Structure formats: structure tokens, C-alpha cells
Amino acid sequence: MHKLVRKITIVGGGTAGWLTAGVIAAEHMANSENGVQVTLVESPDVKPIGVGEGTWPTMRGTLQKMGINETDFFKECDASFKQGAKFAKWVTGAENDFYYHPLVLPQGYDEINLAPYWQPQSDQVSFADAVSFQGHLCEKGLAPKQISTPEYAHVANYAYHLDAGKFAAFLQKHCTEKLGVRHVLDHVTTVNSAPNNDISSVTTKNHGDIEGDLFIDCTGFNALLLGKHYQIPFVSKKHILFNDTALAVHVPYQSADDAIASHTISTGQSAGWIWDIGLPSRRGVGYVFSSAHTTIEQAETELRDYIRPSLGQQVDDIAIRKIPIEPGHRELFWHQNCVAVGLSAGFLEPLEASALVLVELSAAMISEQLPANREVMDIVAKRFNDKFLYRWDRIIDFLKLHYVLTQRTDSQYWKDNCLPESIPEGLQTLLKLWRYESPWQLDFDHADEVFPSASYQYVLYGMGFKTQARQTAKRSDNQALAQMTFRKNVQLTAKLLAGLPSNRELINKIHQYGLQKI
Amino acid sequence: MPNHQLLDNITHKDVHIITQHGSEYGDNNSYSHVFIEEFQDVQAHYPIFFQKNAATGKFETIALFGLAAQENLFLSDAGWQANYIPLSVKKRPFLIGFQETVVNGVVEQEPVVHLDMDSPRISYNQGEAIFLEQGGQSPYLQQITSTLVAVNQGHEQTTLFVDSLLQQDLLESVEIKVTLDDESKHSMDFLYTINQEKVAQLDDASILNLHKNGYLKQIHMVLASMANMTDLIERKNTQIKSNL
């Protein structure tokens, strides 16, 4: 009889730990006698980093599967809607320079690639506006649904902005009260090895040894198990993605009914970019930059200048938190009977909110392919490593894409970002191809790509990239369908602009009345 | 701004209310709210559905009168062609308002009668008097007051009923698709109803619980009321024929 995988021990709380605990506990019935046992050990002193305030639309499914009520989530996590990202000053740096990466796919995406049909009219309408309504909704500050839309359902695809600290506490409560996760608040002092080099248990200060068949390392940048114990090397990606420091602040609203932006606003600066995330009770703003290209003092000044219009004199009193970033990831994520999820696996930068989605994807794969016993664990581990190495590479390519298409030459930062030696080879190849062929489904290898080809289209064409029209005729050319689809988008835009409430109005209603389940 | 006034026997001493029914009096709605206490009477004439309030998303129970907006198939030149008219229609143009009063130092919300002065039912020369010559309440107003009390209680009790259905996951969305005799198609996709199969699968404890609250009977009233859809479609077909 092979040793069953029954006890799962997660080391580290925070959003990564509790999300992973919740996903596994819900699917593998930790609250029943025949399910797995999930224990989460968390140090009482270690404060979670608590950034990562933007999610992907996948979070809706993740929360729903865990049996979470969306209304409770909105109320307790200070959550708001996110319909995509607005990139300002990434192309020319001018005041009117912006483009949208919305969350809805281009209209008719399963039957037609609109990019080549849009290109001839690119001077009249932006790509995002030609193929989707969502940029308009964002510009008007509208919500992606109505109060009568059931929970987790949408009119316009959406993700969330949330308070990461509150989110972790909310998940903890749900996991321990509803899903049967055992919570141990204690320091891990020693990691104990079995003869086969697996981790047999972790020793805690006050709760003795905690055993496990599978250990999940959610200890943040510390990477206590995978890094410190197993010495799995860290692979730096700083030569591609330069940002290594973030300065974060909370910005209060001036009045309780100030509009809440329903998209992340990211604005290019001299040595990085500033994120601006609207929660119901405050904004979360931060400057993520390359310390090789500016000084902390200069970065602080740029950050304060950014928030000055909303705060006036108060801006000089506001507390700034500094967060160091080491862009990169571990060489492997699953080693022996230990898998890292969250910052312990790696982190690149906040662009495109890839951190939380990687946690969700990791937790989902661990849960779906949870090895039945130790005998088959190495097979799953190899799959996991292959899959996630591929995913990290694709994310790196996609993030880098935002930088390499810039026309900014006003600072060394933007110029250095365009140096060929800083651009991954795979991305260079794709960029070469895309000069003659717009991104489409077959450009990528996997059925479950992190970023679909639509995302590449939004960024490429948002940044003014030109794909040359094909010189020879194609049977599948369908100008009529393309024009009909463009018109459909115009009609849909008008309809939604007239029918959707403001983001603030809907969030207030959710707090007051709640969302229906059906 | 709606002109809702707190009713008093000085301001409104000469006001009369037209009590006939007709589209000119605002009766051409395709539905009205109904309350569980009146389900027994309602289900004898109208299909009962659930729909979401557009402003709050909360479920409300309604009786359906027509297949399109602003269509009440029970209205004719002779008035409202049914033996029972729902309370929320009968109370028009009166409304319940709430007034803050201090009772033993505690602020309480006291229900009071309001009158919609913009209603086409308001008259000074025909209909029912609200107040008597000396300022006392007319028998008509007394009857309206008891209707308003029933509506007020009905709201609360119906909300509890709906909450109970939602807790047991018994509601489901239903799309009504009708093809009429003239081949025209009508569809309504904003209605919800009770899932009969789920009711049949409830465990004993849940059934007993619903029964003790009096909800089991109401559930069956709603299910039985579906038979009135046939009547509604027939009325529409008759209307089409008479318009030919």
C-alpha cells in the first residue's frame, strides 16, 4: 500500500496561504471525515505584505467554488469592480496618451479576428473602442452589472479590486468556520526531513511537530521550505523587467460619494509606473520603479506629485511604505513533497495583476491533480513544474510587451527597456511575426494560456503597433461580417451606457440589499 | 417629483376618489404586487410570479395581467373583468408613509396614510368622498385604511416567504414564450417561479418547517396559479380577433 496523501500542511497565511487552503479544502472536503485534512500554520508575528489589490475575472470562479457569498466578499473585503486596466503615458508620455486593456474579449472573437479590419481605420477609433464596449464603461465610471444581475454573473466581464489584508482575514474565517481548515498560530522553528528527503514535519514553538503528506510553502519572499530548506535556486528576471522597488500609499477620498474607478489606472513615470486602484473606502496608489534608473527621493517626489491633485497640502503628510521587489521566480516550484505558491514561488511586478492569478492557478492545479499517494506525486510535480515554468515565461513576455513598444525617449528607463538584449527571444520572434500577421489563437501552445491572444491584441494595437495587411487574397476574408460586428459593438455600447449604474452606486446597493444568488 | 401628501381632513376635505378601473386611471400595468395573504384569491384569476425589483434586486411577488408592458388584459370598457382585484391596486391612489414619532423617548416609525395628488383618480366632483361633512372618515376611507394595513403587513410577510424560498433554493428563472393565433411571438425573460421538482425533493424536516410557517400552502397556490397562463393567452387571442 502506498502512502496516501491525506494531510496537507500549508505554511504561511496571507492571501496565498488562505486561497490555497480554501481551494483544496472545498474540493477535497476537509470538513468531512473522509476528506483530506488541511492545516495552515501561520506565524503570529509575520505581517503579510498585503499588496496585490487587483485580481483577474478568474477570482469569481475561485470564490464561488469555495462557497463564498459574493455580497459578504464585497462588504468584508472593501471590494470593488475591476473591468480592466487603463495605461496612461506608456506610449508617448503625453497627457492624452492612453489605451485600455479591457477584460471582455473583442466582439465576435470566436468567429472573426477583427484586428486586420480595424487597422485601416486606426486613426479614427482606438482598437479597444472598435472591438469592445468596456473602455467606454470605464471612462464613464460605470459598473459591469446591475443590482438585479445574480451574484458572480456579469453584463460586462469583471474582476475585483480589494483590500488584501481584509481579504486574507475574510478567507481565514471562511476556511476555518466553513471548510474545516485547521488553523495553527505558531512559529515554525525547524523543518524535519524523512529518510527519502521529503519533509516529514515542521516543528513549531508551542504546538510540537505538525506532520504532512504534502507541504505547501506560502511563506512569502522568505520561501522557508522551497528556498531555505531545499535550496531551490532563485532565477532573477531583473535583466528583463527592471522594476525592483515599490512605494505604496493609501489615498482617502474627499467625500463619501466620490466616484470609484472601475479599472486599474497605471500611469507611466520616469523610471516605472504608478498603479491607482479604487476601493470603496480609499484608493491604493503606488509607484513601482527601477532603482537603477532613479533615486528613492526622486520616486517619492513623483508619487506625491501624482496624488497632489486629489489631496492638496495633505500630500506631504501621507505615509509612504517601501516594498523591495526581486523580480524572478524559483527554478522549480514543486520539489519532493513540497510545492510553493505565491511570493515564495516568485514575483515579477504588479503589472497586469499576475500575482493573485498565479496563486489561483497553482491552487487549482494542486487541487485538481492532487496526487492520490506518494508514489505518483513526482509525476504530478513534474507536470506542475513544466506548466508553471511555461506560464512564468509567457507572463514575462506579456509584461515586457508593455515596455518594448514605447516611443518614450525622455528617460533612460524607457530607452533601456527597448534594448534587444533585455527582450526575451520568444517575444522578439512573435513581434517580428506580428508585423505581418495579427496575434491569434494559434500563436500560443497551450489551451489554457494565462493571457489569451486577445490580450496581446489589446496591448499591441493600444500602443500603436502596425500589422501590415496581407498582399494576397484569402478565401476566409469577410469584410461584411467584420463591419456587422463593429456595428454590433456600437449598438451594444449605447445600450450598456444607458442601462448600467455607476460603480459607486452599485457597490452601495450591494452593501444595502445584497446580490441575489439567481 | 411625485406629489405625495400626508392625508388630513382639512387639506383634503373636498377630495373625492374615482374608483372605477380603466387605463385612463393608470390601471394599464401588466402586473401588480401581491402578498401571500391574498394568494388564495389571486391564484383563482391570475398567474403568480416572482420578479426582481429594478432598484434593489430583491424578489417581489406579482400577479401577471398581460404579455407586454402596459398591457392589462383584464381591462375593458366595462372595467376590470375579474372578481378579485389585488390589494395593491385597490389601495390606489393611497400610499403608506412613515412618520417618526417619539414614544417614551424612543423614536419609532409610525405608518401614516399618504395621497398621490398627481393621480388621475383625484377628483372634486365625482367618486367616493374621503371625509364626511364634519371631518370624520368616510366608510370608503375606513376600508382603504384597512387595505393599507393589510398591504403593510403583507410586504413584511411576503418578504419572509421569499427569503424562505431562496434559502431552500426553490426559485428558478423562467422564460415565457407565447405564439399567438396571429403567429406573433411574445417572450418575457424577467420572471421567476417555484421549481416544482425541487419542492418534491425537499426532506421531511424542510417540508414540516414550510408547513408550520404556512408557506407550503402558498407554494402550492403559486404552482396552481400557472394554470391561469392559458386564460391570459386566451384573452390576448380574443383581443386580437376582436381587433381584426
Which residues neighbour A407 within 8 Å (Cβ) at sequence distance 6 or greater? A91, A92, A464
Chain A partners of B169 at a C-beta cutoff of 8 Å? 517
Q: Chains A, B: CB contacts under 8 A, how many?
A: 32
Q: Which of A502, A507, A518 to mutate to test the interface with B (most CBs of B within 10 A)?
A: A518
Chain A partners of B59 at a C-beta cutoff of 8 Å? 516
- How close is the nearest chain B Cα to the Cα of A425, in Å? 52
In our burial notation (b when 16+ CB lie closer than 10 A, e otherwise), range A401-436 reads bbbbbbebeebebbebbeeeebbbeebeebbeebee
Q: Give yes or no for B2 touching A (CB within 8 A).
A: no
B63 contacts B48 by C-beta, under 8 angstroms: yes
Q: Give yes or no for B54 touching A (CB within 8 A).
A: yes
pLDDT band at residue A51 using 50, 70 and 90 as cut-offs = low
Statement: A7-53+163-238+327-390 belongs to CATH 3.30.1010.10: no
Chain A partners of B54 at a C-beta cutoff of 8 Å? 146-148
Chain A partners of B194 at a C-beta cutoff of 8 Å? none
**Angle value at C-alpha B57, between B56 and B59, nearest 5 degrees:** 110
Q: Of A509, A512, A516, which has the smallest distance from its Cβ to B52's Cβ? A: A516
Task: Give, in words, the CATH class of A245-324.
Answer: alpha beta
Chain A CA closest to residue B57: A148
Chain B partners of A516 at a C-beta cutoff of 8 Å? 52, 57-59, 166
pLDDT over 80 at B239, yes or no: yes
Contact A509 B56 (CB under 8 A): yes
Chain B partners of A146 at a C-beta cutoff of 8 Å? 54, 57
Q: DSSP 3-state assignment of A403?
A: helix
For chain B, the domains span 4-236
**Among the listed residues A37, A35, A29, the one whose alpha carbon sits nearest the alpha carbon of residue A67:** A29
pLDDT band at residue B8 using 50, 70 and 90 as cut-offs = confident
Q: Give yes or no for B55 touching A (CB within 8 A).
A: yes
Bridge partners, B75 (sequence order): B80
A162 contacts A278 by C-beta, under 8 angstroms: no
Region at B214 (left for phi over 0; alpha for psi -120 to 50; beta for the rest): left
Q: Which of B51, B52, B191 to mutate to test the interface with A (most CBs of A within 10 A)?
A: B52
Per-residue model confidence as pLDDT tens digits over A319-338: 899 999 999 999 999 999 99
Q: Give yes or no for B184 touching A (CB within 8 A).
A: no
Helix, strand, coil percent values for chain B (each to nearest 5): 35, 30, 35
Q: Of B53, B56, B171, which has the smallest distance from its Cβ to A518's Cβ? A: B171
Neighbours of A458 (CB within 10 A): 30
Among the listed ranges A62-66, A97-101, B8-12, which one has the minimum average pLDDT value? B8-12
Query: CA-to-CA distance for B131 and B7, rounded, in angstroms?
Result: 10
Contact B172 A509 (CB under 8 A): no
Q: Can you give the pLDDT at residue B100?
A: 80
Per the document, the length of chain B is: 244
Tell me whether strands B106-116 and B4-6 are parallel, antiparallel or unpaired.
Answer: antiparallel
Residue B19's Cβ-count burial label (10 Å; 0-12, 13-18, 19+) is middle
Chain B partners of A148 at a C-beta cutoff of 8 Å? 52-54, 57
A272 contacts A89 by C-beta, under 8 angstroms: no
Mean pLDDT of A2-25: 95
Chain A CA closest to residue B55: A147
Chain B partners of A514 at a C-beta cutoff of 8 Å? 57
- How close is the nearest chain A Cα to the Cα of B59, in Å? 9
CA-based max dimension of chain A: 74
Q: Give yes or no for B163 touching A (CB within 8 A).
A: no
pLDDT over 60 at A339, yes or no: yes
Query: CA-to-CA distance for B192 and B59, rounded, in angstroms?
Result: 9
* Matching residue, cell 470566436: A110
Residue A209's Cβ-count burial label (10 Å; 0-12, 13-18, 19+) is exposed
CA of residue B15 relative to chain centroid, distance: 25
pLDDT over 60 at A239, yes or no: yes
Q: Of B54, B58, B173, which has the smallest distance from its Cβ to A518's Cβ? A: B173
Q: Give yes or no for B56 touching A (CB within 8 A).
A: yes
Bridge partners, A85 (sequence order): A101, A264
B38 contacts B48 by C-beta, under 8 angstroms: no
For chain A, the domains span 7-53+163-238+327-390, 84-156+394-499, 245-324
Q: Of A148, A512, A517, which has the smallest distance from its Cβ to B54's Cβ? A: A148
Q: Can you give the pLDDT at residue A472?
A: 87
- How close is the nearest chain A Cα to the Cα of B222, in Å? 19
Q: How far is CA A363 from CA A15, A165, A235, A357, in A?
A: 12, 19, 22, 10
Main-chain dihedrals φ then ψ at residue B49, nearest 5 degrees: -130, 175
pLDDT band at residue A389 using 50, 70 and 90 as cut-offs = very high
Chain B partners of A149 at a C-beta cutoff of 8 Å? 57
Q: What is the DSSP letter of A354?
A: H
pLDDT over 80 at A439, yes or no: yes
Q: Can you give the pLDDT at residue A52?
A: 59
Q: Can you give the pLDDT at residue A50?
A: 61
A84 contacts A197 by C-beta, under 8 angstroms: no
Chain A CA closest to residue B59: A516
Chain A partners of B58 at a C-beta cutoff of 8 Å? 513, 516
Contact A513 B172 (CB under 8 A): no
Per-residue model confidence as pLDDT tens digits over B107-141: 888 888 999 999 999 999 888 889 988 888 999 99
Chain A partners of B198 at a C-beta cutoff of 8 Å? none
pLDDT band at residue A444 using 50, 70 and 90 as cut-offs = confident
Per the document, the length of chain A is: 518
Of A507 and A315, the structure prediction assigns the larger pLDDT to A507
* Grid cell listed for A294: 532613479
**Among the listed residues A465, A443, A470, A468, the one whose alpha carbon sits nearest the alpha carbon of residue A454:** A443
Share of chain A above pLDDT 70, in %: 99
Q: Which sign does the torsion angle of CA A341, A342, A343, A347 carry?
A: positive
Contact A509 B57 (CB under 8 A): yes
* Grid cell listed for B124: 372634486
- How close is the nearest chain B Cα to the Cα of A151, in Å? 11
**Among the listed residues A154, A87, A101, the one whose alpha carbon sits nearest the alpha carbon of residue A132:** A101
Q: How far is CA A257 from CA A311, A503, A504, B55, in A?
A: 16, 11, 7, 18
Task: Write the DSSP string, A147-188.
Answer: TTSPTT--SS--EEE--HHHHHHHHHHHHHHTS--EEEE--E
* Matching residue, cell 517580428: A432
Q: How far is CA A163 from CA A43, A207, A463, in A?
A: 21, 31, 30
Q: Give yes or no for B189 touching A (CB within 8 A).
A: no
Q: Of A149, A509, A517, which has the smallest distance from its Cβ to B166's Cβ? A: A517
Bridge partners, B227 (sequence order): none
Chain A partners of B57 at a C-beta cutoff of 8 Å? 146-149, 509, 513-516
Tell me whether strands A282-289 and B48-52 are parallel, antiparallel or unpaired.
Answer: unpaired
Q: How far is CA A207 from CA A96, A213, A225, A366, in A?
A: 59, 18, 18, 27
B59 contacts B192 by C-beta, under 8 angstroms: yes
Contact A517 B172 (CB under 8 A): no
Q: How many helices (H) and strands (E) does chain B have?
A: 7, 13
Per-residue model confidence as pLDDT tens digits over B64-73: 999 998 999 9
Mean pLDDT of A110-125: 93
ipTM of the complex as predicted: 0.80
- How close is the nearest chain A Cα to the Cα of B159, in Å? 13
**Among the listed residues A504, A84, A88, the one whose alpha carbon sits nearest the alpha carbon of residue A260:** A504
pLDDT over 80 at A282, yes or no: yes
Using a CB–CB cut-off of 8 Å, the residues of A that contact B are 146-149, 509, 512-518
Chain B partners of A518 at a C-beta cutoff of 8 Å? 166, 171-173, 192
> From start to end of A44-95, where are the E strands?
80-82, 84-88
Query: CA-to-CA distance for A248 and A285, rounded, in angstroms?
Result: 6
A356 contacts A52 by C-beta, under 8 angstroms: yes
Query: CA-to-CA distance for A454 and A460, rounded, in angstroms?
Result: 10
pLDDT band at residue A470 using 50, 70 and 90 as cut-offs = confident
Query: CA-to-CA distance for A511 and A350, rounded, in angstroms?
Result: 28
Query: CA-to-CA distance for B53 and A147, rounded, in angstroms?
Result: 9
Chain B partners of A517 at a C-beta cutoff of 8 Å? 166, 169
Q: Give yes or no for B175 touching A (CB within 8 A).
A: no
pLDDT band at residue B102 using 50, 70 and 90 as cut-offs = confident
Mean pLDDT of B29-53: 95
Q: Can you give the pLDDT at residue B134?
A: 87
Neighbours of A502 (CB within 10 A): 16
Mean pLDDT of B195-205: 95
* Grid cell listed for A332: 522549480
Q: DSSP 3-state assignment of A273?
A: strand
